[in-house]
Amino acid sequence: MLHDSEDHNQTSEDQSSTDKNWWRGAVIYQIYPRSYQDFNGDGIGDLVGITQRLEYVASLGVDAIWLSPFFTSPMKDFGYDVSDYRDVDPMFGTLADFDRLVQKAHELGLKVMIDQVISHTSDQHHWFQESRVSRTNQRHDWYVWADPNPDGTPPNNWLSIFGGSAWTWDARRKQYYLHNFLASQPDLNFHNTDVQDALLREMRFWLERGVDGFRLDTVNFYFHSQGLESNPPVKPEDYNASTAPDVNPYNLQDHLYDKSQPENLEFLKRFRELMDSYPNTTSVGEVGDAQRQLEIMSTYTAGKERLHMAYTFEFLGGEFSAEHFKQAISESESGAAEGWQCLAFSNHDVVRHATRWGRHGHAEGAIKQAANLLLTMRGSVCLYQGEELGLTEADIAFEDLQDPYGKEFWPNFKGRDGCRTPMVWQAEVDNAGFSTADRTWLPIPEDHRAKAVDVQANDPESTLSAYRQMLNFRKSRPELIDGSIELVDAPDDILAFIRQKGDHKTLCVFNMSPESADFALPRAMSVRSLDAPGSVPAPNGDTLNLPAFGTFIGAID
């Protein structure tokens, strides 16, 4: 009996450890609530609609969902301008609707993660409404206020990502306030511990409601330099347009003082203490810093006192080439070895990767290969709604444009509406099954109908089937979940790496070019085929023959 008890205790401990680390190697499906499913027929998606579609999400084989903001908001930045952190905006439903969504997700085995937008609020939030009244009120320093220069100009040269100065004049206080985004999104002052305390209470509210984790928007924007030093120009050799589009002058500054400050590490420690008090919860941070993103990601996720994981814009832009991925993997393994990254190829802020990378006359092959690559690299994974269908970027006419970012830089940058169009469920139904409204908040591209869920669901050769098969395959190989990764020497257009955990070793080879190519197996390496979707068979000899955008995933004996 003692032996049986010891076995039982060990099993319980192993299970507890598994639950605690469910996020490590997990696949998280991002849902943009406005565009997933409209239940009440107003042309805008809502929480009840999402709940109705959770069976579909679970059928993909993902581990969790991430909900973009659904909080009370004037919607000038579509929910990323929060006016009440503790309530659901009426366009999305009610708190009771949210609770039912969480319950249904948990019944289906899905974790629920929600956005936390705490670097700034809406100017309609009562904290800001109080702060701007005077320089002596209770919350006078809850936001970043600064006196003008003697000539009345802003205190420094900091820029808003959405265009223009990051400072807006407030006539009541006769001061400028900081906003890294829209003028209606004033930045909170994290140097004030009362602000930190308040934000941690807001997050606790949702943990008490049963959420399993948070995605932290712009996590490196929380603190600014209190010296308010002007940013220097970026050196030409360090120029990088990964955080903002190339037409945006924001890229011309080296953002040394307006974000990514060292004080953030102490706040992240406080945040992690909160998360650790709720077992089995997790966090993923969005890092936007063109010159230092890898360094920040590594620092923010190292150890067990900060974020669980983070993602950068390394793969949310850039090119689909073996050279790019070799460099990114090498730099990540050498520069962020202690951290844990969350891999993403698309999300609600960037052009869909099916458009960015689906070229050379081999669009479908490249898209399926991207799925295999994303799901075999080292890290957790974020999939963006519609990615599994191979949806392309929509071309939105200016008169239909909603995104203020796009309106500012049109036509050279058309904003983010093209990746935010409604989900397509049924090809032959009005609004593709998304809504019964006469008009949806963004138009549904006609060419998306051919990629609707009902068209692809029963087609074993479809992109949707490829994602489902690959997600299922990933779960069968522990080395693909949280094993190590080692690059293998390969020709210029071929990316090859080995994933390993214990005795499990898998070789992954990708011909990332529109021409067929050969890959010579490393000396003395013996491989055998696995039931990996889209993989070519193992070779009879020592050379893999890969077609254009061909993939091999096999076991190393």
Q: Is 353 exposed, middle or buried (0-12, 13-18, 19+ CB in 10 A)?
A: buried
Residue ranges, the chain, pLDDT below 70: 1-18
Q: Residue 442 carries which side chain, given as an amino acid letter?
A: L
Residues 385 and 23: their CA atoms lie apart, in Å, by 19
- Residue 219: predicted pLDDT: 98
The H-or-E segment that residue 28 falls in is strand 27-31
CA atoms within 13 A on the CB side of 460: 2
- Residue 1: predicted pLDDT: 30
- Residue 10: predicted pLDDT: 36
Residues 394 and 386: their CA atoms lie apart, in Å, by 12
> What are the sequence ranges of the domains in the chain?
23-117, 483-556
The position carrying tokens 């679970």 is 58
Q: Which of 115, 286, 289, 387 is catalytic?
A: 286
| Helix residue ranges per DSSP H, 21-88 | 47-52, 54-60
- Residue 524: predicted pLDDT: 85
Q: Tell me if 344 sits within 8 A of 242, measured CB to CB.
A: no
Domains 23-117 and 483-556 are alike in CATH topology: no
CATH number given to 483-556: 2.60.40.1180
Strands laid side by side in the 64-67 sheet? 309-311, 282-286, 213-216, 111-116, 64-67, 27-31, 380-384, 342-344
- Residue 6: predicted pLDDT: 33
- Residue 360: predicted pLDDT: 77
- Residue 493: predicted pLDDT: 97
| Sequence-distant (≥ 6) Cβ neighbours of residue 9 within 8 angstroms | none
Is 197 one of the catalytic residues?
no
- Nearest-CA neighbor of 357 among 348, 347, 370? 370
- Nearest-CA neighbor of 119 among 271, 346, 231, 4? 271
Q: Which of 217, 258, 314, 417 is catalytic?
A: 217
Q: Tell me if 519 sits within 8 A of 509, measured CB to CB.
A: yes
pLDDT digits (tens, 9 = 90+) for 94-140: 999 999 999 999 999 999 999 999 999 999 999 999 999 999 999 99
- Residue 18: predicted pLDDT: 57
- Residue 314: predicted pLDDT: 87
Is 237 one of the catalytic residues?
no
Model-level pTM?
Answer: 0.95
- Residue 250: predicted pLDDT: 97
Task: Say whether domain 23-117 belongs to CATH 3.40.50.2300.
Answer: no
